[in-house]
Structure 1
Amino acid sequence: MTAAQDRPAVLTEVDGDVWRITLDNPDTGNALTPQLASELAAAFAGRPDGTRVVLLTANGPRFCVGGDVRSFADAADPGTFVGRLAHDWHEVIRAVLYCPVPVVAGVHGAVAGAGVGLVGACDVVICARTTKIRPAYGAIGFSPDGGTSWALTRSLGAPRALDLMLTNGSLTAAEAHLTGLVARLVEDEDLRRTTEQVAREIADGPIRAMVRTRALVRRAATRTLEEQLDDEAQLVAESAADPEGREGVRAFVEKRAPDFRNAR
């Protein structure tokens, strides 16, 4: 192993209710490699039970520049190598999508390629104002992976998503915010503070109800209203029966702040 391979690509830390996951290969722009995919999947799988939200950030000037193109060039069988890497990365995306607690991300610098799909899978994304977002696949003759086509089409609509990807275009942070790819836009110097604040606010809330809400929102775009109403009725009943719901109702009646952390 080289010294670079010996160095972890992902850092994890428990910070109260928050499970911090930090991409930490700044020299490569946190480029997607088999190591990064493996360690990021392990980080989500290893979330301690007591934590109530995942906070995803990155060290260095760029959040994630997408795939490590040099490794593609060096591969003896590029199709097999890239296909295997895409498979492993898609397991990471699924881990984010189906995480048992909400996932908050703070992004900055550059977000490209598979990094766009990672951002699109998170629940709440806080974006620094100078961030640039670029699919970048067309520049190397690739089609998208990592859920990037899903995230961009969902936020931009098919015509604008195709225009962006077929012309190798980019989005400013303001455009990403306007179209809904990211939830909030903040000044660069406020990114860390705001992201941590949002993560802690969410950790204070009814986490299981939030996960049900996430499921409803994600399915809404592909369902009829009738289907959505049926699902809402089922999930609100589950929420009402859940200790979180019971605590929330009691707190409302008793005119006090709810204690969702201890609602088991």
Structure 2
Amino acid sequence: METRARISTGVDGDVWRVTLDRPEAGNAIDLALADALVTALEQRPADTRAVLLLGAGPRFCVGGDVAGMAAADDRPGFIGALAERWHDAVRAVVGSPVPVVAGVQGAVAGAGIGLVGACDLVVCARSTKIRPAYGAIGLSPDGGTSWALARTLGAPRALDLMLTNGTLSAAEAHQAGLVARLVDDEALVVAATELAHQVAAGPVRAMVRTRGLVRRAATTTLHAQLDEEARLIVESAGDDEATEGIGAFVDKRAADFRTAP
């Protein structure tokens, strides 16, 4: 019986590092991993300003724990409970009060794709393969995978990928916008860490407002988006981040957003 922790965490300056830590199973998602990811995000130290999400071992996340599904006496109940808890984890990423940066490598499959799609910035190793894989085991998607793929690829390409059990290369994922940056495999952790620290040095509350605007843009009208932009820029203007940023611009110095409480 497995006893190792499914998630490891640590503070790296002002970055909260969260690592999927089930490498012997490709970081396959079981209830323990889903629970641990939710807990890790909830326990982010208040003085950290960004989350860095990584996967231990050669594969970022191969999706749901198929071995556990096969062994379950009540398979629909088992899968339903797992999907529900994993959706809590995806919602925690989407709703994080600080930006979330991910570094992904090797393989991203199944519900791991939904996790990637929930992050704000994704750095991807060039050799990574992305495969929904649900069709191979007779299941429909979960974890936000259909949402992430439809938004980035468009419905025709997303359906082609999912209905034919296809695979995206890292370059194709980058071209489509599923991942933000491509790097050589050996540079992944360094590049993702540097990006997380860069983001943490910025106006994180303004970044979170920006994230919300961008995510809602695909499903709202221009007039509604303009109203929301007006509301949020006023909210930002009353924030200490704007006081520091505007003051630094006028003073011709670099802004230090860490000083904005």
Report deviation, 1:29. 0.3
Alignment of 1:56-205 (within 5 A): 56-205=53-202
Report deviation, 1:42. 0.4
Report deviation, 1:193. 1.2
Report deviation, 1:244. 0.3
| Counterpart among 7, 11, 17 of residue 10 in structure 1 | 7
Report deviation, 1:242. 0.4
Where 1:185 maps in the other structure, the secondary structure is strand
In structure 2, how many angstroms separate the alpha carbons of the residues matched to 1:180 and 1:259? 30
Report deviation, 1:189. 1.1
**2:223 is the counterpart of 1:234:** no
Partner of 1:211: 208
Report deviation, 1:70. 1.0
- Counterpart of 2:145 in structure 1: which amino acid? T
Where 1:61 maps in the other structure, the secondary structure is coil
- Counterpart of 2:4 in structure 1: which amino acid? R
Give me the CA root mean square deviation. Answer: 0.5
In structure 2, how many angstroms separate the alpha carbons of the residues matched to 1:80 and 1:260? 47
Partner of 1:244: 241
Where 1:50 maps in the other structure, the secondary structure is coil
In structure 2, how many angstroms separate the alpha carbons of the residues matched to 1:244 and 1:201? 16
| Counterpart among 35, 48, 69 of residue 45 in structure 2 | 48
**2:252 is the counterpart of 1:260:** no
Gaps (5+ residues) in structure 1?
none
In structure 2, how many angstroms separate the alpha carbons of the residues matched to 1:95 and 1:212? 16
Partner of 1:38: 35
The alignment of Structure 1 onto Structure 2 pairs a total of residues equal to 261
> How high is the TM-score relative to the length of structure 2?
0.99
Gaps (5+ residues) in structure 2?
none
| Counterpart among 11, 16, 19 of residue 16 in structure 2 | 19
Where 2:186 maps in the other structure, the secondary structure is helix
In structure 2, how many angstroms separate the alpha carbons of the residues matched to 1:148 and 1:125? 15
Same amino acid, percent of matched pairs: 65
- Counterpart of 1:143 in structure 2: which amino acid? S
Note the alpha carbon deviations across 1:80-115, whole angstroms, 9 max, x for none: 000000000000000000000000000000000010
Note the alpha carbon deviations across 1:130-167, whole angstroms, 9 max, x for none: 00000000000000000000000000000000000000
Which stretches of structure 1, 4 residues or longer, exceed 3 Å deviation after superposition? none
